[in-house]
Structure 1
Amino acid sequence: MTQPDVTVVTVTYNASALVLDCLASLRAQRLGDVTMDVVVVDNASSDGTADLVEARAPWVRVLRARENLGFAGGNDLALRDVTSRYVLLVNNDATLEADTVRTLVEAMDRAAPDVAAMSPTVLLAEHFRAAAPTDTRGVVTGPDGRWTPDPDGDVRLVNSTGNEVRTDGYGVDRGWLAQAAQHRPPRDVFGFTGAAALLRTAALRQVGLFDETFFMYYEDTDLSWRLRLAGWRVEHCPGAVVEHVHSASSVEGSAFFRFHDTRNRLATLTKCAPAGLVVRAVARDVVTTVSILVRRTRPAEHARTRLRALSSYAMMLPALLAERRRIGRTAAVRRRDVAAHLVPVAAAYGPYRDAG
Structure 2
Amino acid sequence: MNEKIEDLTIAIVSYNSYSTIVDCMDAFIKERPSQFLIVDNNSPDNSSEKLRARYPGVKVITSPNNIGYGRAANLAAKHTTTRYLFLVNPDLKLTKEATITLLEGMLNTTPRPSIMAPAVRPEDHLNRGIENRRWLIGAALLMDLDALESVGLFDEKIFLFSEETDLCYRATKHGHRLALDTDIYIQHLLGQSSTPDPKVDELKNWHFAWSHMYFYQKHGLAEGKKNPHRIKALYFIKWITATSPEKRLRYKSRLKGTSAYLRGQKAFNENDTPYWP
TM-score bracket, shorter-length normalisation: 0.7 to 0.9
Shift of 1:83: 3.1
Distance 2:236 2:23 in 1: 45
Match of 2:20 in 1: 18
CA distance in 2, matches of 1:317, 1:231: 33
Gaps of 5+ in 1: 124-157, 159-174, 320-356
Q: Does 1:264 align with 2:266?
A: no
Pairwise CA distance, 1:224: 0.9
Structure showing greater radius of gyration is 1
The residue that corresponds to 1:189 in the other structure is: 133
* 1:288/1:47 CA distance change after superposition, 3 Å: closer
**Where does residue 308 of structure 1 map in the other structure?**
256
**% of aligned pairs identical?**
28
Match of 1:281 among 217, 220, 227: 227
The corresponding residue for 2:169 is: 225
Q: Is the 8 A contact 2:129 2:181 kept in 1?
A: no
Which digits, 9 at most, give the CA deviation of each residue in 1:115-137, with x for residues without a partner? 211111225xxxxxxxxxxxxxx
2:214 aligned partner, one-letter code: A
Q: 1:90 aligns to what?
A: 88
CA-CA distance at 1:75 after TM superposition: 1.3
Code of the aligned partner of 2:204 = F
CA shift for structure 1 position 291: 4.5
Q: Cα distance 1:208–1:275, how it changes in 2: closer, same or farther (>3 A)?
A: same
* Preserved contact between residue 10 and residue 90 of structure 1 (Cα < 8 Å): yes
SS in 2 for 1:87: strand
1:64-90 Cα distance to aligned partner (Å, 9 max, x none): 111112222221221123231110011
Residue 162 of structure 2 aligns with an amino acid whose one-letter code is Y
1:241 Cα deviation after fit? 3.1
- In structure 2, the CA distance between the partners of 1:26 and 1:305, relative to structure 1 (3 Å rule), is same
CA distance in 1, matches of 2:59, 2:89: 16
* Residue 64 (1) aligns with residue 12 (2): no
Equivalent pair of 2:34/2:58 in contact (CA under 8 Å): no
- Give 2:184's match in structure 1, choosing from 240, 263, 267: 240
**Structure 1 letter corresponding to 2:85:** V
Task: Work out the CA distance in 1 between the residues paired with 2:237 and 2:112.
Answer: 44
What is the CA–CA distance in structure 2 between the aligned matches of 1:268 and 1:185, rounded to whole Å?
31
Q: Which moved more, 1:101-110 or 1:255-264?
A: 255-264
Quickly say closer, same or farther: Cα 1:289–1:274, change in 2 above 3 A. Answer: closer
Tell me how far apart the structure 1 counterparts of residues 119 and 14 of structure 2 sit (CA, whole Å). 22
CA contact (8 A) 2:24 2:93 kept: yes
Distance 1:114 1:304, change over 3 A: same
Relative to structure 1, is the Cα distance of residues 239 and 306 closer, same or farther in structure 2, using a 3 angstrom cutoff? closer
Pair 1:212 & 2:156 matched: yes
Offset of residue 44 of structure 1 = 0.9
Please give the alpha-carbon distance, in whole angstroms, between the structure 2 residues aligned to 1:276 and 1:114. 34
CA distance in 1, matches of 2:168, 2:150: 13
Is the deviation greater in 89-98 or in 236-245?
Answer: 236-245
Q: Say if 2:102 is the partner of 1:117.
A: no
Q: For 1:302 and 1:102, how far apart are their aligned partners in 2?
A: 38
Q: Is the 8 A contact 1:43 1:69 kept in 2?
A: yes
Aligned pairs, how many? 257
Farther-moved stretch of structure 1 (254-263 vs 300-309): 300-309
CA distance in 1, matches of 2:260, 2:169: 22
CA distance in 2, matches of 1:36, 1:241: 24
Give the distance between the partners of 1:215 and 1:275, measured in 2 at CA.
Answer: 20
The answer for unaligned runs of 5 or more in structure 2 is 268-277
Write the mapping of 1:135-214 to structure 2, written as runs, cut at 5 A. Answer: 158=122, 175=123, 180=125, 184=128, 187-214=131-158
SS in 2 for 1:214: coil
Q: CA deviation at 1:297?
A: 2.3
Structure having the higher helix fraction is 2
Q: For residue 94 of structure 1, give the secondary structure of its aligned residue in structure 2.
A: coil
Once residues 145 and 94 of structure 2 are traced to their aligned partners in structure 1, the CA distance between those partners, rounded to angstroms, is 21
Calculate the aligned-residue CA RMSD, in Å: 3.4
